[in-house]
């Protein structure tokens, strides 16, 4: 028997994935697997300007400021809007993965959408990701836009704001969310 005969191959060991050691190899591989092979739920405006409801098709309206200036932020997710009633497990973290623009007021124009996350107010929030959008000449594009942002604790809130080449232009959006057990 060789020296290696007593060593168990790493691919035969079970791992804890996202429930294991943060940033370990098994944790990171499981994070990738869950990101690409997990439930995605879409969230829309719950009507009270402080959060959202899963599988709701009511859009949020984002309004640009002056030409090429971001407008006022709109809160998309409130604390604990991502819940186990939405997913088949109890989520601990989430990421917004896609955004669907359902209506734009200024056609054939460039927009920039920012998404911010935090636990208290927008003033204390951190920029999570920025997504460009170009409206079509005669109508809105109806394909969700993929976006990349870090995983956030489910208690984090999300705000969005937009700017456009046209002052006071508006976008209406809903968002797609992935959630994670750890």
SS3 string, the chain, reads CCHHHHCCCHHHCCCCHHHCCCCCHHHHHHHHHHHHCCCEEEEEECCCCCCEEECCCCCEEEECCCCCCCCCCEEEECCCCCCCCCCCCCCCEEEEEEEEEEEECCCCCEEEEEEEEECCCHHHCEEEEEEEEECCCCCCCCCCEECCCCCEECCCEEEEEEEECCCCCEEEEEEEEEEECC
CB 158 within 8 A of CB 23: no
Q: What is the pTM of this model?
A: 0.82
Q: CA distances (Å), 35 to each of 65, 147, 148, 149, 169, in order?
A: 34, 12, 11, 11, 33
Q: Which residue has the tokens 């870090």?
A: 150
Show me where the domains of the chain are located. 1-37, 39-180
pLDDT in tens, the chain (182 residues): 455 555 666 666 677 766 777 777 777 777 777 666 678 889 898 876 666 677 788 999 999 999 999 999 999 998 878 887 788 888 888 989 899 999 999 988 999 999 999 999 999 999 999 999 998 776 656 789 999 998 899 999 999 999 999 999 999 999 999 888 87
Q: At the topology level of CATH, where does 39-180 sit?
A: Jelly Rolls (2.60.120)
């Amino acid at each position: 028997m060789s020296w290696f005969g007593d060593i168990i191959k790493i691919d035969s060991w079970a791992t804890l994935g996202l429930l294991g050691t943060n940033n370990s190899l098994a944790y990171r591989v499981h994070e990738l697997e869950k990101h690409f092979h997990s439930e995605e739920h879409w969230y829309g405006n719950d009507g009270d300007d402080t959060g959202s409801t899963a599988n709701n098709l009511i859009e949020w309206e984002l309004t640009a400021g002056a030409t090429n200036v971001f407008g006022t932020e709109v809160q998309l997710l409130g604390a604990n809007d991502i819940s186990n009633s939405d997913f088949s497990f109890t989520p601990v973290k989430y990421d917004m993965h896609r955004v669907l623009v359902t209506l734009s007021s200024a056609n054939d124009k460039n927009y920039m959408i920012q998404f911010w996350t935090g636990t208290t107010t927008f003033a204390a929030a951190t920029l999570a990701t920025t997504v460009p959008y170009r409206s079509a000449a005669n109508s809105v594009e109806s394909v969700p836009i993929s976006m990349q942002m870090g995983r956030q604790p489910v208690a984090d809130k999300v705000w969005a704001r937009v700017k456009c080449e046209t002052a006071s232009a508006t976008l209406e959006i809903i968002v797609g969310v992935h959630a994670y057990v750890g």
